[in-house]
Amino acid sequence: MTNIIVEHRWKEHNKDETFKVVGSIVDMAKNSKLPAGFTLKSINVINEENRAVCNWEAPSANDMKDLLKKVNPPTKHEVFEAQKLF
């Protein structure tokens, strides 16, 4: 498993749609319905900047990118492999 950080940014007019997608992902995580190998660890939202930073465990950064293509959130996003220090 790889520790993955996904940074999302959205336009104000996409905020409702963005939070609808976030809500469905959170529901999937709570109900153990995420694809095999994916675990959502946290979502940190910075409302003033229309930005969120999500922490995942995933098989790889490429697998995370492929999942994002399927979900197609109304955001611009970047995927980073991160080393967890503690």
Q: Tell me: the pLDDT tens digits for 29-81?
A: 999 999 999 999 999 999 999 999 999 999 999 999 999 999 999 999 999 99
Three-state secondary structure call for residue 52:
strand
Q: Write down all domains in the chain, each with its CATH number in brackets.
A: 2-81 (3.30.70.100)
User: Which tokens sit at 53?
Assistant: 């930073």
Nearest partner of 43 among 86, 77, 2, judged by Cα: 77
CA distance 59 to 20: 25
Three-state secondary structure call for residue 79:
strand
What's the rounded mean pLDDT across residues 1-16? 96
Eight-class DSSP state of 59: S
- Look at the block and give the residue holding tokens 């979900």: 71
